[in-house]
A and B are shown apart, each in its own frame.
Chain A
C-alpha cells in the first residue's frame, strides 16, 4: 500500500518565520504610527517581558511536556522579590523591634521544620505505618501553631509601627536575579512533590499551588504591603523624570526612558534566547525531548527522568520569576491584587500554543503577537461598541451603558477564542517544532 508515504508538503519553516517576523515588524511600526512612539515603547517592553516568560513555559511544556499552570504564582514571586531587594530601606522597620520579632518567628519556623522532619524519620525509632502518619500530622499541626504564635504578633507589630518590612535598597537587576532564585527554589520544591502526577492532575495541582502563593503574597501585609501595593520601584535604567531633569521635554522623556529599558530587556532576552536555543539542539535538549516523547523508554535507557524533569521545571520557572520581576520593575508598582490566572497564566499559555510549542522562534512571535492582540482588543472593542451604541440609540433602544468596562472584557473572549481556534485548526502553532530530523 502506501507504506512509504509521500513527504508531507510543509512550508519552509525558515521562510515562514522570516515572513512572520517581517509582518510583525510592519504591525509594530503601524501601531507606533497610530498610537505614538511612547506607547509602542510601553507595549514592546511588556511584550518582550512576556516573551521571556513564554520561553520559560516553552522549556517546561515545549521541551519537556510538563504542565505548569502556576505561571501567575511565579510572576508574583518575582514581583515580590524585586520589591524586597530594590525598594528603598524602611528605617522605621529596622529601628523598631520588628527585626527581633521576625527573628523569633524565623526560629519558630525552624523549630517547626525540625519537628516535621523528625516526625517523618520516626520509623527509625520504631514508629511505623498509621502511627507515623498520625505523628507527622500532629507535628505539622504543632509546627503550625508554634509558627503562628510568633509570626502573628510580629506581623501585627510591624504593620502597626513600620507599615511593612520595606526593601534592601539594592540595584533592581539584583532583584531580578533574586526573583529567579526564589522561583527556582519554589519550582524545585514543587517539582519534587508534583512532577510524578499525571498531566491533568499536575495541571490542577500547580494551579492550586499558584493560588496558595497568591493568597500568601496578597495577605502577608507585613512583607509585601498586601493590597495596599508598593510604589514607586526604582528602574535599572534612567526613568523619564531623570531625562526631564536634564531638560528633555516630557513627551520625549518617556520615549527615551522606555526604549532605554527596552534595550536592557532585549539584551537579557537575547542572551537567554541564545542559551535556550543552543540547549535545545544540544545533547541535553535531545535527551529532554526523548523523555517528553517516551519517558518510559528514556527511563529504561538509564536516564534519570524525574531529575531531568525537575531541571526543566526549575529552569523554566526561573525565567518566569525573572520576567515577573522585570514587569514589576517596569510598571514601578507591585499590586498583588492585580494578578489573575487569566491575565497571567493563560495568556502565556496562549502565546506558547499559538506560537508553536517546542520552537523558540515560534514562541517569540507568539508572545509578541498575542500580547499585541490582547492589548488592542480593548480599543477595537470600544470602537465596535460605540458603533453599535450609535445604532441602538438611532433605532430607539438607547445607548449601551458601561462601554469601557465591557470593552475591556473583549480581550478575555478573544483570548479564549484564540485558544479554541488554535487547538482546532493549528494545533502545532504558527512555527511548529521541527520534528523531521529523525526521519531524514
Chain B
C-alpha cells in the first residue's frame, strides 16, 4: 500500500476549481517530483493535500486514512510535513527556535531529532542562536527543511525548494533531499528545475491545467520526447 494516494482530486479556493482531477501515489521510498507549466496546479496540489485549500472531489488517502480537508494540526502528527516556497522561516526567531516550532506537535523528547537535523545541515549548527531572518537564502531553505523534518514525518512535501537559490546551493539542497529520502522519508516536491529534479526522481508527474498529463519514473519522463518538447523546453 502506498504511503499517500491521490485519486482524481478536485479543488480550489472557492471559485472555479484549479485542480480538475489529479492522481498520484507515493511510497515511503519514493522521491516524487511534480513538474509542469505555470498555473498547472503544481503547488495547489501540495496545498490541497495539506488542507490549505478546499478539496471538493476525489480522495486523498494517507496511510490508508482519508485526509482531504484536514488541517495541518491534525496532519503533522500523522506524519505529513510541508515546506512552503516563500516566507518559510520565522524571521524573528533563532534557528534553534525555528526547529523547535517544527516539533510543536511532538510531546516526547526530540533532542535526537534536533541532533539529526543539525547533522543533516551542518552550517546551521554554528548559527543556532542567530535569528533566521539574518541567514542567507540557502541557509534559510535549510532552516525551513529542518523545521519540517523536526516532526519526524513519513512524507515531506517541498514547494520549489530550489527557487531563488544559486546553482551551488541548488545542488546542495537536492543532495540533502536525496539523503533525507535515504533516511526513510518519502518526498513529494514541486520543481521548476525540472530536468535536474527528474534526474533523481523515482516518480515524476507532469501536470497541465490541473490534470495529470504524463506519469512515470523520472528517467522515463526525461526520455519521453513529448514531455521534453512540451514541458522541458525542448
Chain B nearest Cβ from A3, distance in angstroms: 5
Q: In the complex, what residues of A have CB within 8 A of residue B56's CB? A: 1
Interface status of B17 (Cβ within 8 A of chain A): yes
Interface status of B16 (Cβ within 8 A of chain A): yes
Taking CB atoms and an 8 Å cut-off, the chain B residues in 14-60 that contact chain A are 15-17, 56
Q: In the complex, what residues of B have CB within 8 A of residue A1's CB? A: 16-17, 56
Q: In the complex, what residues of A have CB within 8 A of residue B17's CB? A: 1
Chain B nearest Cβ from A9, distance in angstroms: 20
**Which residue of chain B is the closest to A3 with respect to CB atoms?**
B16
**Which residue of chain B is the closest to A2 with respect to CB atoms?**
B16
Number of interface residues of A (CB under 8 A): 2
Total cross-chain contacts (CB, 8 A): 5
A3 CA / B18 CA spacing, docked (Å) = 12
A1 CA / B56 CA spacing, docked (Å) = 10
Interface code A1-15, partner B: CB below 8 Å = 1, 0 otherwise?
101000000000000
Interface residues on B, range: under 10
Q: In the complex, what residues of A have CB within 8 A of residue B15's CB? A: 3
Chain B nearest Cβ from A336, distance in angstroms: 45
Chain B nearest Cβ from A2, distance in angstroms: 9
**Which residue of chain B is the closest to A1 with respect to CB atoms?**
B17
**Which residue of chain A is the closest to B57 with respect to CB atoms?**
A1
A309 CA / B14 CA spacing, docked (Å) = 33
Q: In the complex, what residues of A have CB within 8 A of residue B16's CB? A: 1, 3
A3 CA / B15 CA spacing, docked (Å) = 7
**Which residue of chain A is the closest to B12 with respect to CB atoms?**
A1
**Which residue of chain A is the closest to B16 with respect to CB atoms?**
A3
Chain B nearest Cβ from A150, distance in angstroms: 49
A420 CA / B16 CA spacing, docked (Å) = 33
Q: In the complex, what residues of B have CB within 8 A of residue A3's CB? A: 15-16
A3 CA / B17 CA spacing, docked (Å) = 9
A1 CA / B16 CA spacing, docked (Å) = 7
Taking CB atoms and an 8 Å cut-off, the chain A residues in 1-38 that contact chain B are 1, 3
**Which residue of chain A is the closest to B10 with respect to CB atoms?**
A1
A1 CA / B14 CA spacing, docked (Å) = 11
**Which residue of chain B is the closest to A5 with respect to CB atoms?**
B15
A1 CA / B21 CA spacing, docked (Å) = 13
Chain B nearest Cβ from A439, distance in angstroms: 14
Chain A nearest Cβ from B41, distance in angstroms: 15
A1 CA / B13 CA spacing, docked (Å) = 13
Chain A nearest Cβ from B112, distance in angstroms: 45
A1 CA / B210 CA spacing, docked (Å) = 14
A3 CA / B16 CA spacing, docked (Å) = 6
A3 CA / B56 CA spacing, docked (Å) = 14
Chain A nearest Cβ from B204, distance in angstroms: 29
A1 CA / B15 CA spacing, docked (Å) = 9
**Which residue of chain A is the closest to B56 with respect to CB atoms?**
A1
Chain A nearest Cβ from B59, distance in angstroms: 17
Interface code B109-131, partner A: CB below 8 Å = 1, 0 otherwise?
00000000000000000000000
A134 CA / B56 CA spacing, docked (Å) = 61
Chain B nearest Cβ from A8, distance in angstroms: 15
**Which residue of chain A is the closest to B15 with respect to CB atoms?**
A3
Chain B nearest Cβ from A5, distance in angstroms: 9
Chain A nearest Cβ from B210, distance in angstroms: 12
Chain A nearest Cβ from B211, distance in angstroms: 15
A1 CA / B17 CA spacing, docked (Å) = 8
Binding site for A on B (CB under 8 A): 15-17, 56
Q: Could you write out 5 A-B pairs with CB less than 8 Å apart?
A: A1-B16, A1-B17, A1-B56, A3-B15, A3-B16
Binding site for B on A (CB under 8 A): 1, 3
